[in-house]
Structure 1
Amino acid sequence: MTSKLTPPVNKSSAIAISSQMLLANLLQDAWGVPRPLTKRPMVHTLIPTGIDSLPVELLASVFINGSAFDCPYANSPFLLKPDKGYVPPPVPCTNFALTASHVCRHWRQVALRTHQLWTTIHVREKAHISRAQEYLARCATSHMDILIDTVSLSDHTPGITLYKDELEQIFNIIVPSIKFWRSFHLKVCDNECKGVARQYLSTCGGAHSLVTLQLYHFEQFQDVQHLQETTKTPPVTIFNNDLPRLKNLSLIGVNLPWDRTPFLSELDNLQFALHSEKVRPTYEEWAGILRKCPGMRTLTLHYSGPKEATGVPALAWPTAGDEPGIVLRQLEDLNITDLDPDYLCALVGDLHIPAVTRMSLNLREQDFTPFVDFLLAAAESTSADAPTPATVPHLTAIHVNTPLALSRLQFLAIHGMECEYSKWVALLRALPALRYLDADFSRIPAGYYKAIGLEEVEESTRRKHACKTCPADKPCRSMILPRLEVFKVSGLSGQEILQVLWQRHQNMKAGQTRQERWFIRWSESKRGEDPELDALVDQGFWCPQRSGSAGAQSRVLVEVFDEPEEEDDEEGYEGAEEAEEAPLSAEDEEEDGSLESE
């Protein structure tokens, strides 16, 4: 199984790399001087070595693996994110297919008949509509992945961007092929486009091959009246409630008839984002959705969740003594953004998710000490002293099924959280298995970065569990986050990063050889602003040899990354537009049937 702690690699990456190399050689051969037939040592045998000598099957395999090398779904089944300014990246696989089909006539014949090359249909501009029509014809009956990215009227540029009329045109093109949809992503930014989407999705019928569905509607409301008019319209039934293969669902600012939507079940990946209180499901509906998804592996909540309890019986949440709670035994990945502390404690407190190994927190500028206390209490309940059905017979599994076991976390991303420093340190100490830490210290209180380099002293633990490396009469010492392998850091100066690096080196046990990789936010455009950071990026960090240990110097691998700065904006999230690959050329607009096979 591929580890989730490193960027996911396509299962056919080895084949894809070989295919890329082979394609490069073939391109060089295609554009080079034509080679004559070469006589081989075999008697009476002339073997052609030109570009046309490859069997069609092999060439098609090269094209398929090459186009899949940069799959846009490698990290997530969802292409749209509820972040201000986020735009899905271009699709390299589409460019690959276009390039391959333009090399020579033979390659073009093979490419046009390889249906898998034309299944990615992304429409962001009006010029992409004709390309979508051509791709639909080429992919025939293959399952297809569709993205439609419209803009609001204020951002609409006639003839370039997509708005209401263009959206109607696109739906008229793709709906006849609905039984072949594999993934569908739709972004609308105002009520007019929302009306078009409601009309088509409520009348298009079932999508029996659809595995991933992402619907995005969020806009900047000019006044309260506009907001009320938008939210008062009741949701409609989409796809005739007939999505038998659906596994990944993302609703960003979109609500459904929560109690009348049967496909909200048996999901692997669920994302709720940007839902106002009025359109959220009740707690009973929320619990019903999750209980119908016992095999769920990823849950993402971004300013969303069940309606808060306000004293109305229909909105009541379970009390502390109620059971059984919501059990998601297979949940591995939990992502939380923009929830209030008390709401978050109540929400997570009713979840029993003992298998979680990945967690992401991006929390508002409030005191989340109560939530950290909750996490620490959950960690304490996993200790050896915790009661079990074996020691207390009347307990059932649900009573001792811990909400969240910090000791199992291997990946933690914190892009914003405030709490007391002592609780912050305690949280890090409760993560002995953590291997990947992603922290944005620009949204974490100043000075908290120092805890990453602290040494942990556990005298009480030392007495309970004999430590082979410590004498019995001395406290057991170890570095905080002892198994850390990857640290992705932003919001720190070069001097602060060096300070933590030195601290971790000094607290490293003699003979410890674990090598860490640090990813530091930096770009060439920022060179000269922080000389120490520049030097760290250029030279890396070498740990001097410690006395009493053998071996050469060890190096901390330092790499860089650069991401757009996050902006806090209470008014809404608007996606910036981005041009994708060029529309079809005149050669691409030829009729496929005019090319005869060899």
Structure 2
Amino acid sequence: MAGDTTFDAMFGEDLKQRAAKLVVEHGISYTEALKKAEEQMRQNNPFIPPAHGCPVNDLPPELLAHIFELGRQMDIEEAYADDFSDDGLDDEDEEWTDEEDGDDDKEVDEVVVEHEEDVRMSSPVKPRARPPIPGSFPGQEDEADDEEEDGDDDAMDDDDDDEDDEDDRPFQELASHVCRHWREIALGTHTLWTRVEFEGHPNMERARAWIDRANGLPLEITVDCTSMHEPGAHDDDPEPEPQEVLLVSYDPTTGTLTSTTHTGPPLPNLEAPPQQPCVPVEGLVAILDMIIPHVEQWRVLEIHVNTYDYMHKVMQRLAACSSAPILEEFGLYTYDDTEEYNVFEPPELATRLVPFHGIVPRLTHVSFWGVHIAWDESTSFLRELRDIELAYHAKDVRPSFETFRAILDASPQLEVLSLCLSGPVGDMETVEVPSLRGLVLCYLESEYAKPLMQALVLPALEELTLAMQDEDFTEFATQLATPARGEARSLLSGLTSLKLKSLPCSNAAAAAFMGQLSGLRRLNLNCSGEDEMMQFFELLQEVAPGQTAPLYCPKLETLRIEGVDGPLVRKLITTRRTAGAPIDDLSISGRDEVTRKDENWFRANLKTFEFFEPSDSEDELVAVDEDDEQD
């Protein structure tokens, strides 16, 4: 190859120069100088194994295995950081429209240009495919390693792998291909292979190899069938047959029509062809055939599909499983794009099933998005839960309030409850959930949300997310700001964290709502949608009437804001600092207009400041962040 020839020529020329220098400096023969120069050039060359062995191989196998485990964790964290960065830009970003070393005192108003990065959110978003992360098996990359058995060490797969795909391979696979010693350690460290994700066009053989290498340890399995591809992108369709086309032309001077025929390839279809799923139903069945024999190893199971015919296949298979003895986290997600939420469609798939025969003794986290089960018969395993998420259920397949209450009563350590266009139906009676710390309410009807919140008694609630749209929620906002019957304080008065995307209500209701947030420390406010949301922002710099505190939300320390430009946010920061209620930490959307001057001011007047890039989805919400839980 030309590249190899050029490298050899450069190497030879460098070798001659070094040898000539050694002859002059040490008075040795040219032959001896060539030998000595080549030895020097080969020292510390990463592409040539050390003559006396690699020092890292002197480490105990246990320490090397721990290094591999750290590498796997870093791989996962970096993948999530790349696709769902909460931090936005680094402090020193090169994408400014003015000079980096410009004078900060100049009245320069260049607008900050941010990277298009998503922010990882955790509350219901419909629909959105997940990003691939290390441990997933995109389809057409490499075949699975053949040397899974102890006797296969001589057959390293390096020559069979496509070098262009090496950077996309997860850390543990790369480590297992470095040398025989590393391979033995990696394949013997079974924890490296327990996170198995099927995404895109899955490589089934590789997935099977990973499950085998886990050697019976608890598995974290994700099946994501939401990826789509253009028709024919992975199909061996024959070339289209030539077609005869009639071409007609009109001559305005003579008023005559003439026609000719043309034979050739079909005319292009100007409309984009519908995309097809990367994983057809048959592919999903094959995945289930592979993982279900290992159901006793499942610790985490998540399945994401676009349409309910896929999920019905899943439900039938899970209902046939006798139990899931160590399953802790169970999530089923259907992203059907439907506007019908009164009656489930299609009716032939509305059958309610009980997964795992109701035997899931270790279950703590459940998420059902657009997926219904036999709620009444499932109370045997919907107990001792810590996190419950129900989203996008038609009204006729939702659980009854009686069953919902039984689930809550059987989960005395429940911490987070999320209801997004879902929730119990029927007459609601008072139920206390003393352990609940986080509540997410999204896209509920006002006449439903009011009796629901009247029924729920939540004395320990600290974190609340609200996204209410398309109605007037004045009465609901007022209800939250009013102490419940028999209570001395309102639900809002105990909050330390609030995430508010949408709450259309009157000015008076907004003021009453904000006036109850006396202990609030963290506020995530989205003013980019409803016009009414700006009133909540404006109240942050006003004095609460009848209050001894200087301003609304007097203890507010951290603000994450979207839909407000830099100058207005600067005014807010200044007003609160002057009033003795300063904000210390600020995150502002990169899509809002923020000048270089604004940014420099924020960094100079706040403890921490950062940009974030919100999701493209208008429905993206934020639930209880892990960072908030550390407070």
Please report the TM-score for the alignment, with normalisation by the length of structure 1: 0.70
Aligned match of 2:250: none
Once residues 291 and 113 of structure 1 are traced to their aligned partners in structure 2, the CA distance between those partners, rounded to angstroms, is 44
Q: 1 or 2 for the larger relative contact order (CA 8 Å, sep ≥6)?
A: 2
Alignment of 1:266-277 (within 5 A): 266-277=384-395
SS at match of 2:502: coil
Once residues 555 and 225 of structure 1 are traced to their aligned partners in structure 2, the CA distance between those partners, rounded to angstroms, is 49
1:152–1:560 distance in 2 versus 1, CA, 3 Å: closer
1:349 aligns with 2:461: no
SS at match of 2:606: strand
Letter paired with 2:65: A
Conservation of the 8 A alpha-carbon contact between 1:455 and 1:477? no
Aligned match of 2:12: none
Alignment of 1:393-408 (within 5 A): 400=486, 405-408=491-494
Conservation of the 8 A alpha-carbon contact between 1:356 and 1:405? yes
Conservation of the 8 A alpha-carbon contact between 1:355 and 1:405? no
Alignment of 1:172-321 (within 5 A): 172-220=289-337, 228-230=345-347, 233-261=350-378, 262-307=380-425, 315-318=426-429
Aligned match of 1:558: 609
Aligned match of 1:541: 602
Once residues 79 and 179 of structure 1 are traced to their aligned partners in structure 2, the CA distance between those partners, rounded to angstroms, is 31
1:370–1:496 distance in 2 versus 1, CA, 3 Å: same
Once residues 184 and 425 of structure 1 are traced to their aligned partners in structure 2, the CA distance between those partners, rounded to angstroms, is 44
1:342–1:227 distance in 2 versus 1, CA, 3 Å: closer
Further displaced range: 198-207 or 355-364: 198-207
Once residues 408 and 330 of structure 1 are traced to their aligned partners in structure 2, the CA distance between those partners, rounded to angstroms, is 14
- 1:275, CA displacement in angstroms? 0.5
Once residues 260 and 433 of structure 1 are traced to their aligned partners in structure 2, the CA distance between those partners, rounded to angstroms, is 41
Conservation of the 8 A alpha-carbon contact between 1:302 and 1:339? yes
2:576 to 475, 479, 504: 504
Once residues 79 and 185 of structure 1 are traced to their aligned partners in structure 2, the CA distance between those partners, rounded to angstroms, is 17
1:59–1:317 distance in 2 versus 1, CA, 3 Å: same
Aligned match of 2:128: 86
Once residues 403 and 135 of structure 1 are traced to their aligned partners in structure 2, the CA distance between those partners, rounded to angstroms, is 54
Aligned match of 1:394: none
Once residues 425 and 56 of structure 1 are traced to their aligned partners in structure 2, the CA distance between those partners, rounded to angstroms, is 63
Q: What does the per-residue CA deviation read over 1:144-165, in whole Å, with 9 as the maximum and x for residues that have no partner?
A: 1111112499988656711211
- 1:100, CA displacement in angstroms? 2.9
- 1:449, CA displacement in angstroms? 4.8
- 1:403, CA displacement in angstroms? 9.0
SS at match of 1:300: strand
Conservation of the 8 A alpha-carbon contact between 1:144 and 1:182? yes
- 1:230, CA displacement in angstroms? 3.5
Once residues 567 and 130 of structure 1 are traced to their aligned partners in structure 2, the CA distance between those partners, rounded to angstroms, is 38
Letter paired with 1:293: S
2:281 to 164, 169, 183: 164
2:472 to 367, 370, 374: 367
- 1:209, CA displacement in angstroms? 0.7
SS at match of 2:390: strand
Please report the TM-score for the alignment, with normalisation by the length of structure 2: 0.66
Once residues 298 and 194 of structure 2 are traced to their aligned partners in structure 1, the CA distance between those partners, rounded to angstroms, is 9
Q: What does the per-residue CA deviation read over 1:242-299, in whole Å, with 9 as the maximum and x for residues that have no partner?
A: 1011111111111111111111111111011000111112222222222222221110
SS at match of 1:478: coil
Conservation of the 8 A alpha-carbon contact between 1:365 and 1:417? no
Once residues 154 and 54 of structure 1 are traced to their aligned partners in structure 2, the CA distance between those partners, rounded to angstroms, is 46
Once residues 282 and 234 of structure 1 are traced to their aligned partners in structure 2, the CA distance between those partners, rounded to angstroms, is 16
Count of aligned pairs: 462
Once residues 406 and 101 of structure 1 are traced to their aligned partners in structure 2, the CA distance between those partners, rounded to angstroms, is 54
- 1:231, CA displacement in angstroms? 6.0
Conservation of the 8 A alpha-carbon contact between 2:588 and 2:612? yes
Conservation of the 8 A alpha-carbon contact between 1:454 and 1:503? yes
SS at match of 2:543: strand
Once residues 152 and 535 of structure 1 are traced to their aligned partners in structure 2, the CA distance between those partners, rounded to angstroms, is 42
1:437 aligns with 2:531: no
Conservation of the 8 A alpha-carbon contact between 1:351 and 1:403? no
Ranges in structure 1 where 5+ consecutive residues have no aligned partner:
1-28, 38-47, 308-314, 319-324, 382-398, 462-475, 544-553, 570-598
1:431–1:193 distance in 2 versus 1, CA, 3 Å: same
Letter paired with 2:446: P
Aligned match of 2:92: none
Conservation of the 8 A alpha-carbon contact between 1:151 and 1:163? no
Aligned match of 1:485: 557
- 1:338, CA displacement in angstroms? 0.3
- 1:126, CA displacement in angstroms? 2.6
Q: What does the per-residue CA deviation read over 1:569-590, in whole Å, with 9 as the maximum and x for residues that have no partner?
A: 9xxxxxxxxxxxxxxxxxxxxx
Q: What does the per-residue CA deviation read over 1:449-471, in whole Å, with 9 as the maximum and x for residues that have no partner?
A: 54354243565x6xxxxxxxxxx
Once residues 341 and 488 of structure 2 are traced to their aligned partners in structure 1, the CA distance between those partners, rounded to angstroms, is 43
Asked which structure has the greater CA Rg, the reply is: 2
Letter paired with 1:484: L
Aligned match of 1:425: 511
1:416 aligns with 2:502: yes
Conservation of the 8 A alpha-carbon contact between 1:183 and 1:213? yes
- 1:412, CA displacement in angstroms? 0.6
SS at match of 1:479: coil
1:79–1:175 distance in 2 versus 1, CA, 3 Å: farther
Once residues 340 and 525 of structure 2 are traced to their aligned partners in structure 1, the CA distance between those partners, rounded to angstroms, is 37
Once residues 419 and 194 of structure 1 are traced to their aligned partners in structure 2, the CA distance between those partners, rounded to angstroms, is 38
SS at match of 1:372: helix
Percent of residue pairs bearing the same amino acid type: 26
Further displaced range: 139-148 or 225-234: 225-234
Further displaced range: 210-219 or 424-433: 424-433
1:421–1:131 distance in 2 versus 1, CA, 3 Å: farther
Letter paired with 1:367: D
Once residues 541 and 515 of structure 1 are traced to their aligned partners in structure 2, the CA distance between those partners, rounded to angstroms, is 11
Conservation of the 8 A alpha-carbon contact between 1:30 and 1:103? no
Conservation of the 8 A alpha-carbon contact between 2:222 and 2:301? yes
Alignment of 1:376-387 (within 5 A): 376-378=481-483
- 1:33, CA displacement in angstroms? 6.3
1:115 aligns with 2:190: yes
Conservation of the 8 A alpha-carbon contact between 1:442 and 1:490? yes
Conservation of the 8 A alpha-carbon contact between 1:458 and 1:477? no
Q: What does the per-residue CA deviation read over 1:92-133, in whole Å, with 9 as the maximum and x for residues that have no partner?
A: 477232333333332222112111111111101233323211
Conservation of the 8 A alpha-carbon contact between 1:421 and 1:448? yes
Please report the RMSD computed on the Cα atoms of aligned residues, expressed in angstroms. Answer: 3.4
Further displaced range: 176-185 or 145-154: 145-154
Aligned match of 1:517: 585
SS at match of 1:415: strand
Ranges in structure 2 where 5+ consecutive residues have no aligned partner:
1-43, 85-119, 137-169, 236-276, 621-631
- 1:503, CA displacement in angstroms? 1.8
SS at match of 1:454: coil
Letter paired with 1:269: D
